[in-house]
Amino acid sequence: MGRVATVFTHRRPDETRAALVRLVEVARAAGWTLSFTPEETRKHALAPGEGLILDAPVARDADLCIALGGDGTILHGLRAYARTGVPVFGINFGEVGFLATIDPDGVTAGAERALRGDFDVLSLPGIEVSAGKNTWLAMNDVSFHRKQGLRVADLAFSVAEEEVGRVRCDGLVIATPAGSTGYNLANGGPVMAWGVEGLAVSFIAPHSLTARALVVAPQDPIAVRSRSNEEPVDVSVDGRPMCELQPGGRVSARFVGGVGTLAQVQGASFYHRLREKFGRLATGV
């Protein structure tokens, strides 16, 4: 069967349909097979054809993952292929697409480049999040939010078993370097360059004059506790609701190195992306 690439797309199939058709053409010409999960098969109403595997489970032994979408789609690919070494090549069809390596107007050249293996790879860390017996992997962040209509959250967080702070706030975010340009940045938290090891902790609308963001060393585990007597707090992993932090409850987070493999075109450094993505938004260009 030759080499296989798994394809993920975002939730608006009309926006990626033309790109997907072109990707199939490029893959057939290059002798690659494209694999689609049942969700992707239904989303695009795909029919059997040469070089296509439909209604397939995620092939952990794939040679490549191609994501047509924004950062959420790329994060899905990174989680699906965590700890496998399979590169995730992102073509941006999102709002910002900070993790993407190619813009939509470069689909054909980008697909050809991806299938040639003409890219660098960057190893990304993640966050292992645990609550009770449940464990999740975050590539960007884990966030805690007060429930709509309820009182503000009362959150305490500790690092390496030492309580660092307790803040009444709308929430708290723990972010990886890749995730530091997301929710964490919106909170005024520190931007961490790719390659930095550690996690950033920042607050959402803190009711305090002294609450400050913190960068935590990679070997130090973080625990978030609810000091509220009544109100539960919603917990999301990479923007997906996962569980509730009950009054008196605890959620733990720890840095895990080398779990994701992100493809990037040569010369597209973190600082280049930072200028292009956020400079463009700031100037409107």
Please list the active-site residues. Answer: 71
d(CA 242, CA 249): 15
d(CA 200, CA 22): 39
Strand partners, 234: 145, 244
Q: Is 196 left (phi over 0), alpha (psi -120 to 50) or beta?
A: beta
* CA triple 88-241-76, angle to 5 deg: 10
Strand partners, 67: 8, 90
Q: In 10 A of CB 232, how many CB atoms?
A: 17
- What element of type H or E holds 270? helix 270-274
Q: Which two tokens stand for residue 241?
A: 């609701």
User: Is 80 within 8 Å of 259 (Cβ atoms)?
Assistant: no
User: Is 138 within 8 Å of 126 (Cβ atoms)?
Assistant: yes
What percent of the residues of the chain are helix, what percent strand, and what percent coil, each to the nearest 5? 25, 40, 40
Sheet containing strand 240-245, edge to edge, reads 214-216, 199-204, 171-175, 141-146, 233-237, 240-245
d(CA 181, CA 87): 21
- Altogether, the residues listed in the chain come to a count of 285
